[in-house]
Structure 1
Amino acid sequence: MQVYPNRFAEHLNGQLKPFYLIFGDEPQQKIEAIEQLRHAARQQGFDERQSLQVDSQFQWHSLIEASQSMSLFSSRQMIELELPSGKPGTEGSKTLVTVAEHTNPDTIIVLHGDKIGRDVQNSKWFKTLDKQGVYVPCYPVEGRQLQQWIANRLRLRQIHTSAEAIALLAEHCEGNLLAAQQEIDKLPLLFPDGQIDFKQLQQAIGDHARFNVFQLVDVLLSGDINKTIKMLYRLESEGIEPVVVLWALTREWQTLYELKFAQQQGQSLSQLYKTMRIWQSRQSLYSAALQRLSLSDIELMQPKLAALDQGLKQSAIARPFVELSHLCLLFMPMPLAQIQLDY
Structure 2
Amino acid sequence: MTTTPNASASHYKAPTIGQNFQAKRTTSPFCAKRLIELHCEDKKPNKTAETALLTLNNQPSAHHKIVLFAPNFSKIEQSAWYKTLFQHNLAIRSFTLFASDFNQQIDQRLKTAHLRLTSQARERLIAYCQNNLLAAKQAIERLSIHPQHEQIIDDTLLQNLLSDVSQFSTFALTDAILASNWLQAYKIAHKLAEENNQEHTLITWLIQRDMSLILQLIAQPQDHTTLYKNYNISSFQQKRYILALKHYTPTIAQTTFTLADKLDRITKGAEHGHYWLTLKQYLLLRAQH
TM-score by length of 2: 0.55
**Structure 1: how far apart are the matches of 2:103 and 2:120?**
10
Determine the structure 2 residue equivalent to 1:308.
263
Write the letter of the residue equivalent to 2:211. Answer: W
Tell me the SS of whatever aligns to 1:292.
coil
Distance across 1 between alignment mates of 2:205 and 2:123: 19
Provide the rounded CA distance (Å) in 1 between the counterparts of 2:275 and 2:230.
35
Q: Which residue of 2 aligns with 1:149?
A: 105
215-224 or 204-213: which moved more? 204-213
Q: What amino acid sits opposite 2:253 in the alignment?
A: I
**What amino acid maps onto 1:169 in structure 2?**
L
Contact 1:150 1:170 in 2 (8 A): yes
Contact map agreement 1:154 1:184 (CA 8 A) in 2:
yes
Say whether the 8 Å CA contact 1:140–1:175 is kept in structure 2.
Answer: no
Alpha-carbon spacing, 1:279–1:292, altered in 2? closer, same or farther (3 Å): same
The structure 2 residue matched to 1:233, chosen from 190, 201, 205, is: 190
Contact 1:173–1:179 under 8 Å retained in 2: yes
Q: What is the alpha-carbon distance in structure 2 between the residues aligned to residue 174 and residue 298 of structure 1?
A: 21
Q: Is residue 140–residue 176 contact of structure 1 (8 Å, CA) maintained in 2? A: no
The aligned residue for residue 252 of structure 1 is: 210
Q: CA deviation at 1:146?
A: 1.7
Q: Distance in 1 between matches of 2:257 and 2:277?
A: 18
> Is the Cα–Cα contact under 8 Å of residues 183 and 287 in structure 2 kept in the other structure?
no
1:199 corresponds to 2:156: yes
Alignment-derived partner of residue 171 in structure 2: 214
> In structure 2, what is the Cα distance between the partners aligned to 1:139 and 1:271?
23
Aligned residue identity for 2:100: R
CA deviation digits over 1:261-314, x for unaligned, max 9? 111xxx176886688664565444323321222223323444333233122211
Q: Which amino acid aligns with 1:151?
A: D
* 1:133-148 alignment runs, 5 A limit: 141=97, 143-148=99-104
Kept in 2: contact 1:147–1:167 (CA 8 A)? no
Tell me what 1:223 maps to: 180
The letter for the 1-side match of 2:220 is: A
In structure 2, what is the equivalent of residue 184 of structure 1? 140
- Name the CA distance, whole Å, in 1 between partners of 2:113 and 2:263: 43
Q: Which runs of 5+ in 2 are unaligned?
A: 1-86, 88-92
Question: Structure 1 residue 157: deviation in Å?
Answer: 3.5
Q: CA RMSD in A?
A: 3.8
Q: Distance in 2 between matches of 1:147 and 1:172?
A: 12
**Mapping of 1:26-45 within 5 angstroms?**
none
Q: Is the 1:146–1:174 contact (alpha carbons within 8 Å) kept by the matching residues of 2? A: no
Alignment gaps of 5+ in structure 1: 1-121, 123-136, 336-343
CA contact (8 A) 1:297 1:333 kept: no
Aligned residue pair count? 199
Q: Indicate conservation of the 8 Å contact 1:159/1:188, yes or no.
A: yes
Give 1:219 deviation, angstroms: 1.8
Please say which of residues 289-298 and 243-252 is displaced more in the overlay. Answer: 289-298
Q: Which residue of 2 aligns with 1:289?
A: 244
CA contact (8 A) 1:164 1:279 kept: no
- SS in structure 1 of the partner of residue 251 of structure 2: helix
- State the SS of the aligned residue for 1:291: coil
Residue number among 160, 165, 168 corresponding to 2:121 in the alignment: 165
Give 2:275's aligned residue.
320
Per-residue displacement from partner, 1:90-125 (whole Å, max 9, x unpaired)?
Answer: xxxxxxxxxxxxxxxxxxxxxxxxxxxxxxxx9xxx
Alignment of 1:256-295 (within 5 A): 256-263=214-221, 267=222, 278-279=233-234, 281-295=236-250
- Judged with a 3 Å threshold, the aligned counterparts in structure 2 of structure 1 residues 300 and 316 are, in CA distance, closer, same or farther, namely closer
Task: State the Cα deviation string for residues 114-138 of structure 1 (Å, max 9, x = none).
Answer: xxxxxxxx9xxxxxxxxxxxxxx99
Q: How does 1:108-119 map to 2 (within 5 A)?
A: none
> In 2, distance between residues paired with 1:334 and 1:289?
19
**CA gap 1:283/1:183 in 2 versus in 1, 3 angstroms:** closer
